[in-house]
Structure 1
Amino acid sequence: MFAEISTRFIAYLAIFLFGLIVMRHGLYQLAQARLQGWLTTLTDSAWKGMLIGMLITAVLQSSTAVMVMLVGLVAARMIPFTHTIGVILGANIGTTITAELITFQIGSYALWILAAGMILLVFRHRLTYSLGSLFVGLACLFLSMSGFSSLAEPIAAFPAARDLFHWASSYSVNGMFLGAILAAIIQSSTACIAIAMGFLEDMSMSLPTAIAIMIGSNIGTCLTALLASIGTNGAAKKVAFANVWLNTLGALCFLPFIDGLASVSMMLSEHSSMQLAHASVLFNVICSLLLLPLIKPFTRFIEFVHPKL
């Protein structure tokens, strides 16, 4: 029983991550080299950097991909470290779009969307190929979400899973730690949120616990940028560390307000999945807007904490 459920869980996770990659590929084909050009020319102010970060992350459907791109551009001295903070804040907002997207109740049409995407992929025109990739990716996301929901009840029946959920719900910091570890392993905060949504739909997990996991997952995905900065210059390493500090400080500041965030999210929607998606948007938007006026002091803080980079 455990082996079967584990295999199905890994399969659904693989489908979800595959869907993200294919959808990202389709969207990227529509924008192509413009993305890097926007980063190098439109990030000279904090506000513009945040807007560009939101836009590019919405296209790539991955804040991690944007962070790796930033590390590479700073390492190549194409943009200075000080221009990246606004982009990081915007990327944190842009990555919430996928979580909102997968809450739409169109899972029953997933196979039709997949079929349409497969047909479009047959044509060699760039637009139809990009749209086909987008449709196939979306279909995979919706199919995997149905799979996560179907596994929530049998997973929650295991004593170890019940103990883990109880531990995560006992203190918000425990839930954040669980989200950070899970995101560091699978390298996708959106996948962590999708898994939490499955347990929310089955009422195996409370909304505050899911929100804590969501907040922690933002920290866990910082690992990829840290790995990408290995062997680069000091400025590029500061980008990776700035990402860690921004997400960690935002998580710690919101720690006492998780129950309040859950209450506001429940007022915005009756559906548990949408409540978590809305909480993700609220958390990232509030953190980014609060930190935006403090970019210069934050930059000096990074240079003070990591002077030898």
Structure 2
Amino acid sequence: MPYVKIGLLMLAGLVLFLFALNYLAEGLKAVSGEKMQEWLRKFTRTLVSSILVGVIVTTLLDSSSAVIIMTIALVNSRALTFRQAVGIVLGANIGTTFSSQLIAFTIGQWSGVPMAIGLGLMVLARRESFVQWGQVILGFGLLFLGLFLMEEAVEPLNQLPRVVDWMKGLADPWRGVLAGAGVTVLLQSSSATVGMSVVLAGQGLLTLGAGIAVMMGAELGTCADTLVASIGRTKAAVRTGLFHLFFNLFSILLGLLLIGPFTDLVHALSRQASAERQLANAHVLFNALGVLLVAPLAPWLATQMERWIPDSQTSRKQPVLSS
């Protein structure tokens, strides 16, 4: 019976969390209108500006998959070049870490406050813009409520030996990565996977090393959406999806090789922080270091991918933006 009760409460929190992510993204898209796509097109003239745009837009939308899929669509329509998309993909990997920092605040018990404010704006406001902001605020409240339900659900797991033993097994980096990737593909959300990892770390069920391995797996699992989105698209759009996969694979493999020193580094930088904050900081550090390592090589990598997957003769005749 404890497993059934815990499972049902965990499922309720997870479903609410996923719903809140989608609801929040829709609200932010409604607030921004077409501005997001305009920013992607206008402010991506250089690699650095492309990375910054990727960071900002992903932070606002709280979904790297949504931003990269949007980028693939713009590349497919030739509103963006492949080289512009490379910077956005790199920036999206940093921007997605904002959600883990937010989750680590563990303020789920206060979720009713933004929910009440958001609902009040949606019901009482007459201006459409206020109603849209109400949806955004309500979405944040629902997000924290879903996390709070998951926290309450997993608290008794510390007393269940089978669960504790299985969680300890995730300290094996390869097991942790596979678990994180599998859960992310199943849930179609790396934010949900990382969010659950932060919650489990806070309850003492996941060590920092195991949490980092699961987090790296989530980065791999999120590539599934973008690869599917690139199927049947132009060669430039396919290159964008593959670049996202190759970048994440490179970061994860390097992370697995250096997971011991990396975990020690996170411990040293976050010595006084809670377990939740340590894992959230590891998420930021891992993705930021990956971008710093790859960004100087991005022009060369783009050239190699253009030679490997060249544009067709017809697409070369189409006008494209300069990188």
**TM-score, structure 2 as length reference:** 0.89
| Alignment check: 8 A CA contact 2:108 2:148 kept | yes
Number of the residue aligned with 1:289: 292
CA contact (8 A) 1:29 1:126 kept: no
The equivalent of 1:55 in structure 2 is 56
Percent of matched pairs sharing the same residue: 31
Deviation digits for residues 259-280 of structure 1, max 9, x if unmatched?
3333333332421111111111
1:40 and 2:79 matched: no
- Structure 1 residue 303 displacement after superposition: 3.7
Q: Report the counterpart of residue 130 of structure 1 in structure 2.
A: 132
| Residue in structure 2 matched with residue 145 of structure 1 by the alignment | 147
Contact 2:185-2:221 within 8 A present in 1 as well: yes
Aligned equivalents of 2:149, 2:241: Cα separation in 1: 34
Number of the residue aligned with 1:22: 23
- In structure 1, the residue matched to 2:163 is 161
Give TM-score scaled by structure 1 length: 0.92
Answer yes or no: is the 8 Å Cα contact 2:54–2:92 preserved in 1. Answer: yes
For 1:215-230, list aligned pairs within 5 A. 215-230=216-231
Q: Tell me, in whole angstroms, the C-alpha distance in 2 between the residues paired with 1:94 and 1:20.
A: 15
Letter in structure 2 aligned against 1:280:
H
Task: Give the Cα separation in 2 of the matches to 1:108 and 1:153.
Answer: 15
Give the one of 245, 270, 276 matched to 1:273: 276
Partner of residue 301 from structure 2, selected from 298, 301, 306: 298
Q: Quick one: structure 1 residues 81 and 160, their matched pair in 2 at CA, closer, same or farther if it must change by over 3 Å?
A: farther
Alpha-carbon distance in 2 for matches of 1:106, 1:6: 22
Q: Distance in 2 between matches of 1:32 and 1:252?
A: 38
Q: In the alignment, is the contact (CA less than 8 A) between 2:118 and 2:138 conserved in 1? A: yes
Tell me the equivalent position of 2:318: none
Corresponding residue number in structure 2 for 1:75: 76
Partner amino acid, structure 1, of 2:25 = R
Could you list the per-position Cα deviations for residues 205-259 of structure 1 after superposition, in whole angstroms to 9, with x for gaps in the alignment? 1011001111110110111111111221222111111111111101111223323
Q: Which residue identity does 1:253 align to in structure 2? A: L
Instruction: Check whether the contact 1:230–1:237 (CA below 8 A) recurs between aligned residues.
Output: yes
Matches within 5 A, 1:228-247: 228-247=229-248
In 1, distance between residues paired with 2:6 and 2:242?
37
Map 1:241-260 → 2, pairs under 5 A: 241-260=242-261
1:178 equivalent in structure 2: 179
CA distance in 2, matches of 1:77, 1:219: 27
Q: Which residue of 2 aligns with 1:6?
A: 7
- The offset of 1:138, in angstroms, is 1.4
Map of 1:88 onto structure 2: 89
Q: Equivalents in 2 of 1:124, 1:228: separation in Å?
A: 37
Tell me how large the CA RMSD over aligned residues is. Answer: 2.0
Q: Which amino acid aligns with 1:259?
A: G
1:108: how far off?
2.4
In structure 2, give the amino acid aligned to 1:151: A
Partner residue, 1:197: 198
Shift of residue 163, structure 1, vs aligned partner: 4.7
1:139-187 CA distance string (max 9 Å, x none): 1121122222222244455565345323321x21221121111111111
Distance 2:76 2:157 in 1: 44
Larger radius of gyration: 2
The 1-side partners of 2:155 and 2:309 are apart by: 46
- With 88-97 and 155-164 compared, the bigger mean Cα shift is at 155-164
Taking the aligned partners of 2:160 and 2:229, their CA distance within structure 1 comes to 37
The alpha-carbon deviation at position 61 of structure 1 amounts to: 0.8
Distance 1:208 1:304, change over 3 A: farther
What stretches of structure 2 of length at least 5 have no aligned partner?
313-323
Q: Secondary structure at the match of 2:111?
A: helix
The CA distance in 2 between the partners of 1:18 and 1:272, in whole Å, is 26
TM-superposed deviation, 1:104: 1.9
